[in-house]
Amino acid sequence: MQVMQKLGMGQAVNQALREEMRRDPRVFIAGEGVGVSIHVNPMFPTHGLLEEFGPGRVKDTPVSEAAIAGLAVGAAEAGLRPVVEIMFNPFFTLASDMIVNHAAKLRYLSGGKSTFPLVVRIKSGAGFGAGCQHSHNLEAWAAHCPGLKVVMPSTPADAKGLLKSSIRDGNPVIFIEHMGLYFAPMPVPEEEYLTPLGKADIKREGRNLTVVTWSGMLGVAMGAAEMLSREGIETEIVDLRTLAPLDKETILNSVAKTGRLIVLHEATRTGGFAGEIAAVVMEEGFKHLKAPLRRVTGPDIPVPASPPLEQFYIPDENDLVRAAKEIF
């Protein structure tokens, strides 16, 4: 029988890191404050790892994102299994030369001879009043780069299994954690398990409407599904979990069943990943659609700091319900 524990997503990530570091001496972590942190909080992902694994494997770095990402690229090729942290999603841009131009491409450029098994963990998400230089969701940028895998878990249990798979994967993996999920404990199996990359998960079954979402927006989708259910609309929620590689099959099967699709994400709209999913469904599942599809996303603005403005930015249950009603 599965023994369950209640963990926030940060704790689940922590458990995955611990298990993988115990299992494989090649795994090390590096980043700004991954060892000694300004936070003394067990809800945070790297809490207590320095104490267990020591400064040889838990490397606090200078504030140098390009070097942190490059460290991962070089060390991965040399046979280690780096798991590096970028503190907030917008600082991906400072690391992006090493990730986009190097991690993603060097294997291909070597004709498949060199490999770069590394994980870049990135904390993300709006909702903290920190403003756009801390809250910009850039997953679509990463997913636009062939050679990268992009993982965005929406539950602590998935985070644990997906991170373990990411660390064991032979490719560079961008692993994006929504910080809002750090503080919402949910059941996580105590035992060791791997959750496969590239497989979406049906988080709720329904026959009238498919909502495809990921990361912090799963909660919004679940809440809206309850509201819609009271009005007789049964929503199926496809939690993507991995943006690249994309599990088209699960999306298309669900749309074939329900005939209606909404894609929901926190990131801004134009060029957002919802557009990609919409295109896939138009190209490969158009015949199943009974109504035009809809995107529910952040508006095309930088995330503002002021609470009412930030709330306006973040998609909520009412936005999803409203979009659903437009297509029934």
Ligand X SMILES: Cc1ncc(C[n+]2csc(CCOP(=O)(O)OP(=O)(O)O)c2C)c(N)n1
Active site residue 134: yes
> Tokens 């295109």 label which residue?
279
The stretch among 86-94, 156-164, 172-180, 256-264 that binds ligand X (CB under 6 A) is 86-94
Question: Could you give the 3-state DSSP secondary structure of residue 296?
Answer: strand
| Binder of residue 282, out of ligand X, other proteins, none (CB less than 5 to 8 A by kind) | none
CA distance 128 to 37: 19
CA distance 59 to 50: 8
Q: Least distance (Å) from ligand X to the CB of residue 134?
A: 7
| Binder of residue 3, out of ligand X, other proteins, none (CB less than 5 to 8 A by kind) | none
Q: Does 94 bind ligand X (CB under 6 A)?
A: yes
Q: Which of 1, 10, 3, 2 is nearest to 160 (CA)?
A: 10
> Tokens 């992009």 label which residue?
150
Q: Which of 91, 175, 214, 273 binds ligand X (CB under 6 A)?
A: 91
Q: Which of 129, 189, 223, 275 binds other proteins (CB under 8 A)?
A: 129
CA distance 165 to 23: 13
The stretch among 21-29, 35-43, 274-282, 289-297 that binds other proteins (CB under 8 A) is 35-43
* Interface pattern 53-72 for ligand X (x via CB under 6 A): ----------x-x-------
Active site residue 317: no
Q: Where are the alpha helices (DSSP H) in the chain?
A: 9-23, 49-53, 65-77, 92-96, 106-109, 132-135, 139-143, 156-168, 218-230, 248-258, 273-285, 307-313, 317-326
Catalytic residues: 65, 134
Interface residues with other proteins (CB under 8 A) are 32-33, 36-40, 60-66, 90-91, 94, 128-131, 133-134, 299-302, 304-309, 311-313
